[in-house]
Structure 1
Amino acid sequence: MKITDIKIIVTAPGRNFVTVKIITDEGLYGVGDATLNGRELAVAAYLTEHVVPCLIGHDPARIEDIWQYLYKGAYWRRGPVTMCAIAGIDMALWDIKAKAANMPLYQLLGGASRERVLCYTHASGADIAETVEAVGRRQEEGYLAIRAQTGIPGLPPIYGTDKSNTNSAAADALPREEVWSTAKYMNYVPALFEELRKAYGTELHLLHDTHHRLTPIEAARLGKDLEPYRLFWLEDTVAAEHQEGFRLVRQHTTTPLAVGEVFNSIWDCRLLIEEQLIDYIRTTAVHAGGVTALRRIMDFASVYNVRTACHGAMDMSPICLGANLHLDLWAPNFGIQEYSGYTEPMHEVFPHAWRFADGHLHPGDTPGHGVDIDETLAAKYPYERAYLPVARLEDGTLWHW
């Protein structure tokens, strides 16, 4: 079997997505997600100009060799653009291999370790009362684990509470700027979880995302303040480029810690995992170099009792979610899967075998990873330039969004 063509498809059914479609001389094809939110065309150009010409004529079954070729052969290794490009190729190759074997991807990885995959979704509000109501609605939909975010008095809408679409904008738009105050945030958030526990008791799994905005000692203080409310986890407390900063957080709180959605290699999380400074690693297939690389991270994490928790926001296509779910079903150290949901046009453009029921997901048993792309429908949703927001402190200092 040989690779005869590779298509790079950019479509925007509510969000911009970059899809890789690898076609072989035996009629089999596979698809992969290569989306980098806010920098989609950088990945598309990397693939079109620098990757696709190198792979025509290659044997698609040699997945590991191709992964190493694209990683080591580039010399300029890692980085989100490179790793998203590799991920798109890698996912498509695993899709082909599993189709050729006539089995779902999780079987090719070693088989299922569980019957279904626990997932969590998002609930937010402008204030505590509105967030408490939003959590209740999500619980009624069947979710057993819910990430709760609230607006902060004295601040305009912040991450997790702004109702506007952060990834869809007119062609001349620039990034939206948000305003942040750590002091106001830390004084308000514990009260949210006090009210949530009063309303829903202790059985509901509650999660919270700080989105990299605290210093280590601030994160330690917040984790300690939240201990009475038994969170499932506190996510992305600090900017994780400084992995050693988690030592200070870990020293002062028993609240479980999760991080990793912006990581793009095992090297970004090595120290965190080796020193057991986190409880959940949140790397995802599209950002970490595909199925090949994410499986490596999951295996490494299992040695140190760190559980998996793949990022699953709407800025990754249903293809990535499908690949994640096959890894989730296989991984012996699985923890939870994020699932923010998709719009109806997204479901239509990316028909899939994965399904949700009773607070859980399952990848399905279709050969391959079970997700495809409708190219005709995708063409009806052209790319729109769009950005993620940026954040500033109240005095104007640029801060972590």
Structure 2
Amino acid sequence: MKIVDVQVIVTSPTRNFVTLKITTSDGIIGLGDATLNGRELAVASYLRDHISPLLIGRDPSRIEDTWNYLYKGAYWRRGPVTMAAVAAVDMALWDIKGKVAGLPLYQLLGGASRTGCLAYAHATGADLPELIDSVHEQLDLGYRAIRVQTGVPGLEKVYGVGHSGVATYEPADRGARPSEEIWDTSAYLRHIPSVFEQLRNHFGQELPLLHDAHHRLTPQQAARLGKELEPYDLFWLEDVTPAENPAALRLVRQHTTIPLAIGEVFNNIWDTELLLSEQLIDFIRCAIVHAGGITHVRKIWSLAELYQVRAASHGPTDVSPINFAAAVHMGLSAANFGIQEHMRHQPLVDEVFRHAFRFDDGYLHPGEEPGLGVSLDEELASRYPYESAYLPVAYLPDGTLHDW
């Protein structure tokens, strides 16, 4: 069996997705996600112009060899564009292998380590009453863990916060340029501890609550926030400081015992090595699509397991259901799985990407279909061409560009 056809499909059913479709000489099709929010066409070009010609004639069963061929065989390694492209190939080949074997991916990864993957939902509100209503809505849907984001007094907009409990920040804003927001770190730091105090008073101590700082704090500010949130027993505090400098987490770790999660912008095991080996974090957040695919993320998770760090794959709606299926398969099988982010795609996305994974009573399961368990309706996808869209940028009140 050989690879005989490789196609790159870009579609925008409410937001942009890049899908790789690999077809074998036996007619078996494998799908991989290559979506990189705001830079989708760069990955599509990398796949179409540089990787696809290299795959024709290769044996699709040689997944590890193909991964190394695309990574080590290229002088220019790493980075989100390259690793998303490699990940798409890797996912598609695992999808094919599962279909050949007649088994769902998680069975090829060693079988289930649990009956389902604990999931967390997103709750948001412009103010505390809206936020409380949003948490109740997610609990009514069956979620057992909730990430909470709220507006900040004095700020017109805060990334990740929608009005009336709706998280409007996914998909990204459509248009030729990113939208701009004003950010005030001091106002945020003054406000957030009181929010969690009131949430605990309302919901009690047992509900797992999570919070994302979106990389906007310095290490000192992150240490302060972690220390002030300790009384409210968060499940985790996420992305407290820009992730490019992992040594910055040393200062945070010295001053707080709050569980820390980071890694959704990581692309490679070397991005994680110091954080894991020095146990500076508690959850590693790499997205399967942005960190080289199933083959490479398995190695990251195995390294994390050595240091008692749990896996919690990034799972927003700016990755396609193909990536999400891969994450749930991996989470079901990995011994050190912790929790899975679950943002529900729009109904139209689920029509374009039919999937076997399911959510029930707080837990996710990938289903029993062979491979990843996702199919692409290409005719429907073709009705929704690419539209330029970007995540916002943040400025301080004095006009200084701030960390994302």
With the shorter chain as reference, the TM-score category is: over 0.9
- Three-state SS of the structure 1 residue aligned to 2:374 is coil
Structure 2 vs 1, CA of residues 120 and 384 (structure 1 numbering), >3 Å: closer, same or farther?
same
Secondary structure at the counterpart of residue 365 of structure 1: coil
2:300 is aligned to 297
Structure 2 equivalent of residue 275 of structure 1: 278
Query: How much does 1:140 deviate?
Result: 1.2
Give 1:155-174 correspondences, 5 Å limit. Answer: 155-162=155-162, 164-165=168-169, 167=171, 173-174=176-177
Deviation at 1:56, TM superposition (A): 0.2
CA offsets, 1:257-312, max 9 Å, x none? 00000001111111000000000000011000000011110111000000000000
Residue 152 (str. 1) matches residue 152 (str. 2):
yes
CA distance in 2, matches of 1:272, 1:318: 29
Q: Secondary structure at the match of 1:399?
A: coil
The CA deviation string for residues 126-152 of structure 1, in whole angstroms up to 9 with x for no partner, is 112211221111111111101000000
Specify whether residues 187 and 81 from structure 1 end up closer, same or farther in structure 2 by C-alpha distance, changes over 3 A only: same
SS across alignment from 1:305: coil
CA contact (8 A) 1:120 1:145 kept: yes
The aligned amino acid for 2:347 is: E
Structure-2-length-normalised TM-score:
0.98
Aligned equivalent of 2:231: 228
Q: Which amino acid aligns with 1:343?
A: Q
Distance in 1 (CA, whole Å) between partners of 2:236 and 2:174 is 36
Match of 2:196 among 193, 203, 210: 193
Two-structure CA RMSD over aligned residues (Å): 1.0
Counterpart AA for 1:300: L
For 1:300-344, what per-residue CA distance to the aligned partner results, in whole angstroms no more than 9, with x for missing partners? Answer: 100000000000000000000000011000100000000011100
Amino acid at match of 1:256: P
CA contact (8 A) 1:14 1:345 kept: yes
Equivalent in the alignment of 1:109: 109
Structure 1 runs not aligned, ≥5 long: none
Q: Tell me by how many angstroms 1:27 deviates.
A: 1.1
- Mapped partners of 1:139, 1:166: distance in 2: 21
- Give the letter aligned to residue 225 of structure 1: E
Query: Contact 1:177–1:390 (CA<8 Å) still a contact in 2?
Result: yes
Check whether the contact 1:168–1:385 (CA below 8 A) recurs between aligned residues.
no
Within 1, Cα distance between the matches of 2:132 and 2:174? 34
Q: Secondary structure at the match of 2:389?
A: coil
Q: Give 1:328's aligned residue.
A: 331
Looking at structure 2, the residues matched to 342 and 286 of structure 1 have their Cα atoms a distance apart, in angstroms, of: 17
Shift of the alpha carbon at 1:219?
A: 0.3
Where does 1:308-319 land on structure 2 (aligned, <5 Å)?
Answer: 308-319=311-322
Equivalent residue, structure 2, for 1:249: 252
Alignment TM-score, normalising by the size of structure 1: 0.98
Q: Is 2:78 the counterpart of 1:75?
A: no
- Of 204, 208, 221 in structure 2, the residue corresponding to residue 205 of structure 1 is 208
> 4+ residue stretches of structure 1 with deviation over 3 A?
162-171
Partner residue, 1:85: 85
Q: Secondary structure at the match of 1:5?
A: strand
- Higher deviation after alignment, 146-155 or 123-132: 123-132
CA–CA distance in structure 1, aligned partners of residues 170 and 362 of structure 2: 26
Structure 1 residue 400: Cα displacement = 1.4
Residues 369-401 of structure 1: per-residue CA shift (max 9 Å, x gap)? 111111011001111011111001111110112
In structure 1, C-alpha distance between the alignment counterparts of 2:73 and 2:346, rounded to whole Å: 38
1:168 Cα deviation (Å)? 5.2
Matched residue type, 1:281 = I
The partner residue of 2:346 within 322, 343, 346 is 343
Q: Deviations over 1:204-246 (max 9, x none)?
A: 1100000000011110000000001000000000001110010
Aligned to 1:31: 31
- Tell me the amino acid that sits aligned with residue 287 of structure 1: H
Question: Where does residue 48 of structure 2 map in the other structure?
Answer: 48
Measured in 1, the distance between the counterparts of 2:128 and 2:74 equals 49
Alignment coverage as a number of residue pairs: 400
> SS of 2:355's equivalent?
coil
Determine if the alignment matches structure 1 residue 96 to structure 2 residue 96: yes
Shift of 1:165: 5.0
Structure 2 Cα separation of the partners of residues 362 and 400 of structure 1: 36
Cα offsets for 1:31-90 (capped at 9, x unmatched): 000000000000000000000001100000000111001101111000000000000000
Give the whole-Å Cα distance in 1 for the aligned partners of 2:111 and 2:168. Answer: 41
Residue correspondence of structure 1 range 1-20 to structure 2 within 5 A: 1-20=1-20
Decide whether aligned partners of structure 1 residues 279 and 170 sit closer, same or farther in structure 2, where only a CA change above 3 A counts: closer
- Match of 1:48, as an amino acid? R
Match of 2:183 among 151, 172, 180: 180
Aligned residue type for 1:133:
D
1:259 corresponds to:
262
Matched AA of 1:355: R
Amino acid at match of 2:15: R
In structure 1, which of residues 284, 293, 305 is the aligned counterpart of residue 287 of structure 2?
A: 284
The answer to which of 131-140 and 102-111 deviates more is: 131-140
Matches within 5 A, 1:125-140: 125-140=125-140
- Asked if residue 356 in structure 1 is aligned to residue 359 in structure 2, the reply is yes
Contact 1:132 1:195 in 2 (8 A): no
Question: Which letter maps to 1:234?
Answer: L
| Aligned-partner SS, 1:269 | helix
